[in-house]
Amino acid sequence: MRNTTTLPVPTPSGPAVPAERAVVGCGVYVDGVREQGHVTHRTAIERVRETGRGFVWIGLHDPDRHQMDTVASAFGLHELIAEDATSGRQRPKLEAYDDTVVLTMSTVEYLEHRSVTDATDGGEVTGIFDTTDIVSTGEIMVILGRDFVITVRHGDIPALSGLRAELEGAPERLSRGPAVVMHAVADRVVDGYLEVAERMSREIDDLEIAVFAPRTPVGIEQIYVLKRELLELKHDIAPLALPLRHLSVEHVDLIPSEVRHYFRDVQDHHTRVAAEVTTLDEQITSLVHAAMAMIGVQQNTDMRRISAWVAIAVVPTMIAGIYGMNFTNMPELRTEYGYYVVLGVMAAACTALFLLFRRNRWL
């Protein structure tokens, strides 16, 4: 699993990069409708607080500490929020700061690569997995206040422009307040979990077929690649269960009751994908054990085959060794056709052993 989260590079020398460089979207929404015109994050929140109507939705991507401090100052965020928003290495969690709620989630994305079926040519696996990473991860933080919502993305993860356009096309949803944005982002993240889990399931099914297919050698390391990626996926998904449960029942002031119902739906989806990932983990573990057993059987078969050929080779070696001794008085040394008789005995003994081993399926 490739972690695409990037950390801001400090630049102690030179002018600080303005916060607007990290802003990928900023808008003022009143009654669910976005106001026309371009606004900065500072003028947007000032307009909302002066009129007492609507909320601000600002999106940031990989902000550095100076940029995040600037945004935190404009929106009145706690300094710890700014610190967490720039680290990019937070576990999924939910934190409350007076009148602000912060939801941190891990994002996952399936990476295209050569699969088992793509690597099969003529019934033989010619190679599998042209990459050691199947799933890339990132991080997204949603900061929710009474009159604003801030989304902070870290890593090479899909932008939220599509989600913003989708919500702007449904003003009745946005009219319920900024909590709708937090729900939509959480729903999109959990849907990403479901998509990755489904594609991993197909990957494991293909690998299972390849493992049990005759004359299709699949290395155990190929199974361990999926095992490792699945474990990391499980570690990214599982911690989000508790934050989603809290969001569906707590923080009444910031999350309206009708929005909490939607969070319950997200929680149900998360429970389903967590159970599916657990099932996939058990399936891949069973596949590891089966592959190890098959390797053991194959090794035993190879050892029997080697032992059979050694036993066949021992007969002529033993006879040749006996007659290679330098004793004067040995039987049949002066027989006219003794050489041919010995060769015939060797051939007959080797043939008899070969047929015996072949009947017992050692060869």
Each residue of 236-275: pLDDT tens digit?
899 999 999 988 887 667 888 888 889 999 999 999 999 9
pLDDT value of residue 217: 61
Mean pLDDT in residue range 135-162: 87
346-356: average pLDDT: 91
Lowest mean pLDDT among 212-226, 294-308, 335-349: 212-226
Is residue 87 pLDDT above 70, yes or no? yes
Q: What is the mean pLDDT of the chain?
A: 84
Q: Are 199 and 110 in contact (CB under 8 A)?
A: yes
Residue with tokens 């793509």: 118
- Tell me if 70 sits within 8 A of 152, measured CB to CB: no
Q: What is the mean pLDDT of residues 329-340?
A: 78
pLDDT tens-digit series, residues 29-86: 999 999 988 889 999 999 999 999 999 999 999 898 999 999 999 999 999 999 999 8
